[in-house]
Structure 1
Amino acid sequence: GLCIAIPGPTLLDLQEQTNTDTEQISRLFTGRSVGYLFGSLMGGFLFDRVNQTCLLSLSLLLTAIGTAAAPWCTNFLFLVGILAFQGISMGFLDTGGNVLCLYIWGRGSGPYMQAMHFVFGLGAFVAPLLAEPFLSRTNSTNITDSTLDMIRFKFKQVARTVTSVFSSFTKVQFAYLVIAAFVLMVSLMFMLHCCCCGRCSCVAVKYHDSGVNYKIKKESPGFRVQILILLFVFYFFYVGMEVTYGGLVMSFAVNYLGWSKSSGTLVNSVFWGSFAAGRLLAIPLSKCLTPAVMIVADLVLTIFALAGLVIMLNTNHIMLWFCTATLGIGLASIFPTGITWAERYMQVTGKSTAVFVVGSALGEMLLPLVTGFLFQNKGPMWLMYLMMGCAFLSMIVYIIMQNLAS
């Protein structure tokens, strides 16, 4: 969550550092997604064959290296390459984490899957707050941010202390280094667990059925292929929405509404904070609601929020706060709920997980690229128009998918 979200609030600083415009800098997400695509494909193959814990430790180590190196790049192409490298390791993480959760808890993994993805949302919420004290103050307006001052008080204290000691650290480099250090610590914890349990070997953990009884549709090869294709398309639109909005909403607030970087960062935090809250709420809800009901509710809430942004934002800028929070809640639990939905109709293995994770990677790769082009050349409101279109298409794909499964 920290690694996915940190480019969003620091995007304008990276843009200044590499001397690029919005269309060009949005290609960072595309570069990372290319790596994520390859990482997902390799992860889907390897996580069915070798020890998942050791692979997760290695992928976390590579993620830490990529995160630490990224903010020091002043050459745009080199920065894209570093994020592509980071994307490979994050593709491993995404595929491996979901597969390991299913292998441990089987078809009773719903609440655990929601909890795992909640922690992702929590990291994404913290990332803008961590970055804010280190952002440059150029091109900022004189808007007062008293609410933000209260939220970021402790982060500013840490920032002042550290920058007084390490005067060579400027702008956002330190925020990236803090995240890299945390990821490295988690990597070492996985490796320690792997070694202490005597499981650092090339043996995969076998699929575990928790004993929870569901009415599983009898699989046929044709049915499985159709469901996987639809999940591929569904996650293409969903993850594309999540990453594009989370990555560009700060730029939208600054460039279109004329807000300060601090206000834009707070909007970004509102999105990821409501995203985390939605995933936390989904943990108990997943015990009493079916995945189908949760997905429909999420998509309706998402469409409602984006409709508010498209229709009312030009006349009432406060709608950006309300609709961003609503959108975060609506998008929050779709990814893990989609996996548990699929688990009710077929066995989800590393390879099948890789299929819809690859769809996610392509959405993360292409939608920010298209949105960045339209944002720069047609106007920032195209961010909202495209998100609205993706939400409607996601709903259509899900209806087809549910009818097929039923």
Structure 2
Amino acid sequence: MTDSLDCVQTEKQVTETLLAENAQSQASKNDKSSCNPSVNLARYLLSIALGGGFFGMGFASSIFGLALPTLAENLSKELKDVSPVLIARGAGYLSGSLIMGFLERKVDIHFLTISALTVMTVGLVLTPVILNLVVFYVTIALSRLGMGSYETIANVFCLYLWGKKAEPVMQFLHFCFCLGSAITPFVAKPFLNEAQHANSSVNESYVTLKYIDSSGIPFISIPYFIFSVFLVVIIIFIALLRTCKPLSLSESQQKNTIKLEGKRFRLGMLLFLFTFYFVYVAMEASFSSFLYAFSISSKSGLGYSKEIGSNLIALSLFSIVVGQFCAIFMSKKFSPTTILTVDLLGVAVGAIIMMILPTYSKGAQWIFWIAIAMTGLFRTSIYGTTFLWAERYITVNGRAACTFIIGGALGEMTLPIPVGQLIASEPLSFLYFHGGFTLSLILLFVAMRKFASTQGQRLKRDVLGNLSAQLGQSEDGVSKIESTVT
């Protein structure tokens, strides 16, 4: 019995030694490219460029809701007449993500990134100057097609560039998006005010709106043009990097382990992640879309003025930017699993505090403001961190990223509808829906972790697969080695 135990212990020690040597060998191969100053410089510059694209995408996402009343006035239409544009936006976004999911690995990723940014830029330039309703729908769809394409390919590009070191860079990209969204109201406000002031009287019509130096170009076009020029600079920068400092993605630390994952496990993970993003983005869209309406409703228990309601929105935006900025540094010290766990618990605490609003709405409304800030701080990094968490278990290529993003887009298009329908008559439903979304996310994450643990982290299986090949063993041997180690 003792001899058998010693034999097992010896086998375990030998296996652990081989695993360590194999991992060290793989790390040394990866470090060769990491120590190359030219390769590192190209990676950092490309990451900055990708961040610039996310910054522009944040503007494109945020400006739409702010400028829609003015754009409708330019078209001589009322706001309700242009509401079908929401369908065009969703269709464009989904189409862009699907296209990139199909083309990724088949077309040069630099070219795909440039193409996505170009489509988004063209859509932004045309949006404020179009005076035909049908063409307006097409233009909005074009802009969103570029956004869906860029979000899909840029996230994958980041993972390809940095591999296991992608955590802080991924958080940086999404910080740029949050920053672009947050500053857009301040950049656009002067131009929106001009249009609304000219249209404030019942006797005035859209033709009285101010134009740029009597050129016939609406005043609202200025912020669109500013950010379009910024995106053109980013496009040129990426093109120059591709020409002057070509970076072979084979030098990156990203490893393709799709064969080791198995179809059943991969499809299961993608289904879980699709559902997770479906609920998460729906929660984000509902919260950001209806928080202001909830805060100024007299039935909510708050009944704020428009100015105070705007301040509450500003607090939410500020906390989102701060939370995403902190996530850049947190990702260097903590694993995606830890960050996601803390994020979800923080959002849950904030949701609970908000749901008990009726108990303190008359004497301590500052508690609600703390809950809003807490929710913004914790929920903002969930999107990017989930990408990083998924990358530990499956290869996140273009098609996988497409699955996540389509799930989020469908959630944004469908789940906020009941929130909007109920908030007028039952404002507190806004808080209950938010609590329900939060609980669903927590349950989904627990289920995902349980399912993912059945296969283990893909990098570990990659090492085991290499070791099995070196030892001339079958896949059953991999399982035996893995069970011996554990």
Letter of the aligned partner of 2:264 in structure 1? G
Secondary structure (helix, strand or coil) at the match of 2:173 reads helix
The separation in 2 between residues aligned to 1:235 and 1:68, in whole angstroms, is 30
Per-residue deviation, 1:317: 5.3
Q: Does 1:232 align with 2:274?
A: yes
Between Structure 1 and Structure 2, whose CA radius of gyration is higher? 2
Aligned match for 1:175, one of 223, 229, 234: 223
Write the mapping of 1:115-134 to structure 2, written as runs, cut at 5 A.
115-133=172-190, 134=192
The separation in 1 between residues aligned to 2:84 and 2:435, in whole angstroms, is 21
Range with greater deviation from structure 2 (280-289 or 248-257): 248-257
Letter of the aligned partner of 2:265 in structure 1? F
Contact kept, 8 Å, 1:8 with 1:246, in 2: the verdict is no
Q: Does 1:90 align with 2:147?
A: yes
- Specify every segment of 5 or more residues in structure 2 that has no aligned partner in the other structure, as ranges: 1-57, 201-209, 454-486
Aligned match for 2:338, one of 293, 296, 300: 293
Aligned match for 1:20, one of 60, 73, 79: 79
Contact kept, 8 Å, 2:212 with 2:218, in 1: the verdict is no
Secondary structure (helix, strand or coil) at the match of 1:6 reads helix
Counterpart of 2:405 in structure 1 is 357
Percent identity, aligned pairs only, is 30
Counterpart of 1:61 in structure 2 is 118
Residue deviations 1:283-310 (CA, integer Å, cap 9, x gap): 1111211211111111122222233333
User: Higher helix fraction: Structure 1 or Structure 2?
Assistant: 2
Letter of the aligned partner of 2:278 in structure 1? F
Q: Does 1:187 align with 2:230?
A: no
Aligned match for 1:244, one of 278, 282, 286: 286
Contact kept, 8 Å, 2:357 with 2:368, in 1: the verdict is no
Counterpart of 1:39 in structure 2 is 96
Contact kept, 8 Å, 1:235 with 1:357, in 2: the verdict is yes
The separation in 2 between residues aligned to 1:388 and 1:211, in whole angstroms, is 37
Counterpart of 2:430 in structure 1 is 383
When the two chains are superposed, the root-mean-square deviation of aligned CA atoms in Å is 3.4
Aligned match for 2:381, one of 302, 310, 333: 333
Residue deviations 1:170-211 (CA, integer Å, cap 9, x gap): 664433332333223322322333344468xxxxx6465538
Distance change (3 Å), C-alpha of 1:221 and 1:115: same
The separation in 2 between residues aligned to 1:301 and 1:116, in whole angstroms, is 22
Per-residue deviation, 1:353: 1.4
The separation in 2 between residues aligned to 1:220 and 1:114, in whole angstroms, is 29
The separation in 2 between residues aligned to 1:62 and 1:236, in whole angstroms, is 25
Write the mapping of 1:96-115 to structure 2, written as runs, cut at 5 A.
96-115=153-172
The separation in 1 between residues aligned to 2:104 and 2:267, in whole angstroms, is 20
Counterpart of 1:373 in structure 2 is 421
The separation in 2 between residues aligned to 1:179 and 1:37, in whole angstroms, is 23
The separation in 1 between residues aligned to 2:219 and 2:293, in whole angstroms, is 17
Write the mapping of 1:312-323 to structure 2, written as runs, cut at 5 A.
312=357, 315=362, 318=366, 321-323=369-371
Aligned match for 1:399, one of 425, 430, 446: 446
Secondary structure (helix, strand or coil) at the match of 2:356 reads helix
Letter of the aligned partner of 2:282 in structure 1? G
Contact kept, 8 Å, 1:102 with 1:208, in 2: the verdict is no
The separation in 1 between residues aligned to 2:350 and 2:133, in whole angstroms, is 34
Q: Does 1:282 align with 2:341?
A: no
Secondary structure (helix, strand or coil) at the match of 2:79 reads coil
Distance change (3 Å), C-alpha of 1:355 and 1:170: same
Per-residue deviation, 1:50: 1.1
Distance change (3 Å), C-alpha of 1:165 and 1:106: same
Distance change (3 Å), C-alpha of 1:211 and 1:28: closer
The separation in 1 between residues aligned to 2:83 and 2:365, in whole angstroms, is 24
Count of residues in Structure 1 that have an aligned counterpart in Structure 2: 373
Distance change (3 Å), C-alpha of 1:74 and 1:229: same
Letter of the aligned partner of 1:234 in structure 2? F
- Specify every segment of 5 or more residues in structure 1 that has no aligned partner in the other structure, as ranges: 141-162, 200-204
The separation in 1 between residues aligned to 2:427 and 2:83, in whole angstroms, is 13
Letter of the aligned partner of 1:244 in structure 2? S
Contact kept, 8 Å, 2:127 with 2:140, in 1: the verdict is yes
Residue deviations 1:222-268 (CA, integer Å, cap 9, x gap): 11111110000001111222233223434444566665665554443
Contact kept, 8 Å, 1:6 with 1:127, in 2: the verdict is yes
